[in-house]
């Protein structure tokens, strides 16, 4: 089973990310990505879906026209885990 991150591990992980916001109440991280149009947003979601499937870790997300909101938390761990940080890093690489 995946373990929830300690406070220090969480802070170290968050420092490695670009623009992700920590939500303490839910022990989750979130990022809202904006694109030129729906087509760009959907293409981004497709790339993230492939990375998530490869990692075996799937985001909670939503799309509204040119905006994609991604929220990461490991349900089995009851909060933020190394899997969330790793997927957020992969998403940061996709968007770069």
pLDDT digits (tens, 9 = 90+) for 10-26: 999 999 999 999 999 99
Q: What is the pLDDT of residue 70?
A: 98
What pLDDT sits at residue 1?
A: 78
The average pLDDT across 58-87 equals 96
- Level-2 CATH architecture, domain 7-95: 2-Layer Sandwich (3.30)
In which region does residue 18 sit, left (phi positive, over 0), alpha (psi from -120 to 50) or beta (all else)?
beta
Q: Mean of the pLDDT values across residues 40-65? A: 97
Per-domain residue ranges for the chain?
Answer: 7-95
pTM for the predicted model, two decimal places: 0.95
Q: How far is residue 22's CA from residue 83's CA, in Å, rounded to a whole number?
A: 15
Mean pLDDT of the chain: 97
Quick one: pLDDT at residue 89?
Answer: 98
């Amino acid at each position: 089973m995946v373990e929830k991150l300690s406070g220090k591990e969480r802070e170290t992980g968050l420092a490695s990310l670009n623009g992700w916001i920590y939500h303490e109440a839910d022990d989750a991280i979130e990022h809202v990505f904006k694109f030129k149009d729906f087509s760009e947003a959907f293409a981004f979601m497709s790339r993230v879906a492939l990375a998530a499937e490869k990692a075996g870790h799937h985001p909670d997300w939503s799309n509204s026209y040119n905006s994609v909101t991604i929220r990461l938390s490991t349900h089995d761990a009851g909060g933020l885990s190394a899997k969330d940080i790793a997927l957020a890093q992969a998403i940061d690489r996709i968007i770069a």
